[in-house]
């Protein structure tokens, strides 16, 4: 399937500015210079559009087999579909070993960093209040005030009720925050020496990180403030703090996801050496190459030989 060339009928992406995955996918469309229309969910423009089987954001409307359009979700496979639909400015690195590391870091952003996003948005009163006030108004600014207030209350009650489900609680909060602060320090170091996480061109990892950071560093007040977080706003009782510290240390070994943040820099730092070989296509030594880069990061245990 190819992207329709007709400029009057660009691809439609239904999303919300407060949705990290919507920002991620829209950034890919922008970087790849794929013409698209950005439609806010629940806005008048979204009325009558095809709905996906699962109501998640973002939704990409692609030409369906019957000539109509069908709504698809899940940013990671959608990025891969777009790669196949249009050549040029692709975001999957051509080197298979680097592509693997890129996918790993994309997964880190999508599945782990999002815990920080959810935690910071809904665990602290100032962040939750701002989100409740703004999120419903993104659908439309001219709706009735009492409706926006009602929707804001509904969003926040639902999301705060889910905090435990996504894993943010008194014990895990310091782990999540320490991991977030570690990532910021590592990204700061990495991006002052390299334009993108894995070198001179953006990969899926950059877009995944960008999506989550548009919220963490660009919208929610607590994670935007240096050192912001539970430890400074709502001290955790000392007994829980001890347990959390132990988990935090263990996190580097037993729960590999926090360790991926640390891996980003050492992965990034070694990538130029691999990329310098200038080869592409599957090679027998791809696995050895990935193993060598991941050695010592804590991530190697995810991929036993």
Ligand X SMILES: N[C@@H](CCC(=O)N[C@@H](CS)C(=O)NCC(=O)O)C(=O)O
Positions that interact with ligand X (CB under 6 A): 19-21, 56-57, 73-76, 110
Question: Quick one: 197 or 244, whose CB is closer to ligand X?
Answer: 197
Q: Which is nearer to ligand X, 180 or 294 (CB)?
A: 180
User: Considering the complex, what minimum distance in angstroms separates the CB of residue 121 from ligand X?
Assistant: 11
Closer residue to ligand X, CB minimum distance, 57 or 62:
57
Residues 6+ apart with CB under 8 A from 278: none
Residue number, 24 or 190, with CB nearest to ligand X: 24
Query: What secondary structure letter does DSSP report for 284?
Result: T
**What is the helix (H) or strand (E) element at residue 12, kind and residue range?**
strand 11-15
Rounded distance between C-alpha atoms, residue 249 and residue 72, angstroms: 39
Provide the minimum distance between the beta carbon of 25 and ligand X in the complex, in angstroms, as a whole number.
7
Burial 77-104 (b: 16+ CB within 10 A, else e): ebbeebeebeeeebbbbebbbbbbbbbb
Q: Cβ closer to ligand X: 56 or 253?
A: 56
The residues that bridge with 70 in the sheet, in sequence order, are 62
> Could you say which DSSP state residue 301 is in?
G
Q: How big is the chain by its Cα radius of gyration, in Å?
A: 21
Least CB distance to ligand X at residue 128 (A): 16
Beta bridge partners of residue 196, listed in sequence order: 199
Closest approach of Cβ 75 to ligand X, in Å?
Answer: 4
Query: Sign of the CA dihedral 185, 191, 193, 199?
Result: positive
d(CA 302, CA 210): 24
What is the closest distance, in whole angstroms, from the C-beta atom of residue 276 to ligand X in the complex? Answer: 32
Q: How far is the CB of 237 from ligand X (least distance, A)?
A: 31
Cβ distance to ligand X smaller for residue 114 or 179: 114
Nearest approach in angstroms of CB 149 to ligand X is 21
Beta strand 11-15 with 59-63: parallel, antiparallel or unpaired?
A: antiparallel
How far is the CA of 169 from the CAs of 123, 125, 173, 187, 229, in angstroms? 8, 15, 6, 26, 13
According to DSSP, the β-strands at 11-15 and 36-40 are parallel
Residue number with CB closer to ligand X (74 or 83): 74
């Amino acid at each position: 399937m190819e992207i329709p060339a007709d400029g009057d009928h660009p691809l439609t992406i239904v999303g919300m500015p407060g949705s990290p995955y919507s920002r991620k996918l829209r950034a890919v469309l922008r970087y790849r210079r794929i013409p698209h229309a950005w439609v806010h969910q629940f806005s008048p423009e979204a009325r009558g559009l095809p709905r996906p089987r699962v109501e998640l954001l973002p939704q990409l409307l692609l030409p369906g087999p019957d000539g109509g359009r069908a709504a698809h979700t899940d940013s990671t496979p959608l990025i891969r579909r777009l790669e196949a639909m249009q050549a040029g400015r692709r975001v999957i690195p051509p080197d298979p070993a680097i592509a693997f590391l890129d996918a790993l870091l994309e997964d880190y952003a999508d599945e782990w960093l999002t815990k920080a996003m959810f935690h910071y948005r809904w665990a602290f009163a100032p962040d939750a209040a701002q989100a409740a006030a703004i999120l419903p108004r993104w659908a439309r600014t001219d709706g009735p005030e009492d409706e926006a207030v009602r929707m804001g209350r509904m969003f926040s009650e639902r999301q705060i009720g889910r905090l435990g489900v996504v894993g943010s609680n008194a014990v895990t909060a310091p782990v999540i925050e320490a991991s977030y602060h570690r990532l910021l320090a590592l990204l700061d170091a990495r991006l002052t020496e390299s334009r993108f996480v894995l070198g001179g061109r953006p990969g899926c990892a950059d877009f995944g990180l960008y999506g989550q950071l548009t919220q963490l560093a660009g919208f929610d007040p607590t994670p935007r403030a240096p050192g912001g977080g539970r430890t400074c706003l709502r001290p955790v009782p000392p007994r829980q703090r001890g347990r959390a510290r132990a988990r935090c240390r263990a996190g580097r070994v037993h729960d590999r996801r926090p360790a991926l943040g640390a891996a980003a820099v050492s992965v990034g730092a070694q990538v130029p050496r691999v990329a310098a070989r200038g080869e592409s296509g599957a090679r027998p030594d791809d696995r050895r190459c990935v193993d060598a880069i991941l050695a010592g990061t804590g991530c190697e245990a995810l991929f036993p030989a």
